[in-house]
Structure 1
Amino acid sequence: MTIAALATVSAAFECDGRALPGAYLNDDYCDCADGSDEAATGACADTIYVCRNLPHKPKQIFSSRVNDGVCDCCDGSDEANSTDCPNGCIALATEAFGALSRGCLRRAELAIAAAKAASSDAERLSAARAQLATATPTIDALHDAKAAAEADEASKRDGRAARLAAGEVDTSLGVERLDAGMTLRALVRVALWGGVEGVDRMYDLLVERPGLEEAAEEVAMKARDEAAAEKGQSAGGGGGGGVCDAAGACGHAREHEAALLQLLEPLPEDGGALRAVLRVLHAELGAGATSALAQAARELLAETESPLDDAAVAAALELLEPFRHDEAEAARAAHKAAVEAVQEASEAERQLAPKEAIAASGGCGAGLEWRQLHGRCFEAEDRGYTYKACPFQEMRQGSPGGRASRQQTLLGNFTRWEPVSGERASQLARAGRTPSELGTMRFEGGAACGGGALRRATLYFECGEQDALLEVTEPETCVYEAWMSTPLACSLALLREKVATLEEASAAASLEFRPSDELRALLAAPE
């Protein structure tokens, strides 16, 4: 038997838990509390009329809307005197039955996913708590190690600075042991290492140096012209390494050395002044220039009684390298990694502990499937307001024209699940609504209303193929009622009840009703 065929099945009229004789129907007397026995007369104008809507679900309308020429009930029962209200419950029942079946299938999938997620989250939470339990002594030890390494780093940095300030580089390079002629040759090589810019800077320093300025000015212009003419063949600017590299190889720039020395012959043999210029020049040109100076000094002093100490030179040149303390860097990295790991573990505990607590209290359902709503929020608009419901967390109301995430009013924080009372369930059934068997979520302690009362809200769940916030109403001032659809509310018990109803009705009409194989397999599954 199809759902369409069930629309023709008749049944005795019942209300308030009793069957009424046919003579009591539409007799201008209200026998039923909901006025349903006077659908055709409107004798119960101030009551609620319930559309039975078989084989779909009931619907409530005001009795004043009975026989008003408008088809409010899908079965047309509110317009019994009219032939203009064809029975549309067939299509609605077909759609609802299919949605219920698909919702139950989806819930089964969510239950499987929830079990896996719960197991994974339990492992993560356990690991996070284990890490947090030992985090303090570990981080303290790493902090102490970092502090010790940084203290050593600071000491060595200060020692390095002191060695530089004491002139260890120049001393190790034997600058003080160079006579005036040697100093001039070393100065020329360092200048040539810097190319045209190096030579220019050398002449600027010579001109600026007291005792050398007059002689330097005489040769400066000629020297610069000659150096510029040779620019294409020079060592190149800024540390090109064309004079002498660290291995002692000197390039073609040596060809210019003699010419420059000849140009500088007028300079007085003032070793002290020349050494001062040399110190400034190699310091300005950088470590490469200092290496060039070391090579020049090594050659110049090689035949003297006090040649350079290569070990001392190497140690001095290390002072010019970028300072680095590997132990301190490693200690900082280890401490940072440990702190970040603790932060990650703390965040995992913050996110997962509430789920664990709710699940332990039974708030996530027998299969923990409701946990998939934790941490998610859903929005809807109603009468110009925007609402945001976050199951297990909070509910908020947004100002008209704005998003719920802006200008929010707290309607309440989640406190508990609460079962639907029998009276309330009956009211909802007459309205054609079936809330979740798990109950409703209560949200309390919201923003204050006029008079100091705090807002509160109740969130109902009903079967639906998708998670969505459907509606929010305010039946009392600052008391809100919201409905949300979700596959989690599509219970097998509800599906079995619907199938039993259809089977009973089909049997009464001597018609066959056979669920599909997929539906039969679903019905055979445990709840």
Structure 2
Amino acid sequence: MLRSLFLSILLSFLFVTLFNENQFVAASKPGEMPYRPLGIGLESAPFYKPDSSGMFSCIDGSKKIPFDQVNDDYCDCADSSDEPGTAACSDGRFVCANHGYIPVTILSSRVNDHLCDCCDGSDEYNSGKQCPNTCVEERQKQMEQFKVFNEGYSKRQELIKQAKKDLEEKKKQLEELDKKLTAESAKLETLLKVKEEAEAPEREAKDKYDQMIKELKEKHANEVMIKKSEEAFKEIDSDSSGGVSFEELIACTSIDGPNQCGVSETEVKEWFPIDLTSLDIDGFREFIWKEKLDKHFKTAAEKQQETLDGQKIEEESHKDEFDDSKTNEDENEDDSDYDFPEDHPKHPDNVAKLKDLPKDVEVPPMSDEAQKLIDVANEARAKFKDQEKVKQDLENQKNDIERDVELDVGPEKEFLHLVKQCFDYKEKEYTYTFCAFDRGAQKPKSGSETNLGRWGEWSGPAHNKYSQMKLTRGQRCWNGPDRSLTINFECGQEDKILSTSEPSMCEYVMQFSTPAACNKQYDFDHERRVHEDL
């Protein structure tokens, strides 16, 4: 009986001893304590030294326990600092040593859970789970990734150097443009004065000619009035007495009016002077024609012509309805949209001036002297217009370069090379287009392009603002918001769109690879030392 009890106690002692030995790792540097608890990094090692009485102080200072209770699978410290290598504390942290690779911190609850979390398998030291050591493979993957990052970083440095050169060149171009603009503006001012000096006598000559046309039109209108009023007087004067009476006006059927007789008796009474019973030709023109009948009266000849015109229109409408050759000829001959010079007879202003004159009225041309003044003014205007274009082109160039210079293209101008560049990405039924610092678009295989947004702002987090760009004010969705496009930049050796998605309605996201986003150079051994020395 005693022998069996002794063996049981001995086995329990050996198990506890072996368990506790697994909770410590050997020191790796001279001067360190022989062992440090499993699951802590080098940065925490100083906290895990027993004091002179062999006690461990919880890192938060709340308690002291015997050092052999560290990693005994029982949570003693409120801050979980006594169990870095076991799952006893719910909020504990375990550091994978990952020899040959980079140390990784995991939750202590994942220690000995039969799942391999550390590439060296150190998290499953007492679970019986055999974890293969994959740290060498992980290191190789990391090295390959670091190689991509470092090559991208080198290209980024080249982009920064080139951007600096480009901006310096643009600033020189702005200086040159300012000089040219000053010179061309002076030329424009000179040509403006020449134009104004040429236009003053031209205006005077045109005004004189316009006055002549006006007088000609007035003369023609007066002649028409005299002729037509005489014809009307004769038609209304039915008894040829040389005077138009009240009764003759009512009987006249050539006057437009509300009844068959042409005008009503009331209307005639309003027209006729109350103290007269008959009007001669002069009185007829003064009281009746100019104010009442001028726009309404049609002579017998005019009525006959209207009838003939109506018949002709009706005949033409039924003739060759399907023959549109004449229409095409007329369209070809139509020069209403042609931009005629101001002195051309078909210029709209000149056509309007001659509107009320029949074609058989001879309109004298401008004098040779007046035409020379117009030619001089036209030449001055043409030179001024050409010089205006020269200046405007220079201003457009300057504005374009100033936009490039003032545009926020990254803290080191690393994104400058993307300005005015567009990239396409085909995905299923759509082709996506991204023009940096400008616009985004989506186009189906058949159909029109949809605007996804215009350049808005850098929208990355505070610590990495230039990792994300936002395009806003896109085409409005049906029953939804304006479309927008967010571009996430990631490190890569070339500029290209990697993927697109629409996680929310009308809110598009694009992944974009560019060396400009490779803002760090990586050294594997340095990264490991940083993790170990933290």
**Given the two structures, how large is their TM-score scaled by the length of structure 1?**
0.41
Structure with the greater alpha carbon radius of gyration: 2
**Given the two structures, how large is their TM-score scaled by the length of structure 2?**
0.41
Higher relative contact order (CA 8 A, sep 6+): 1
Larger helix proportion of the pair: 1
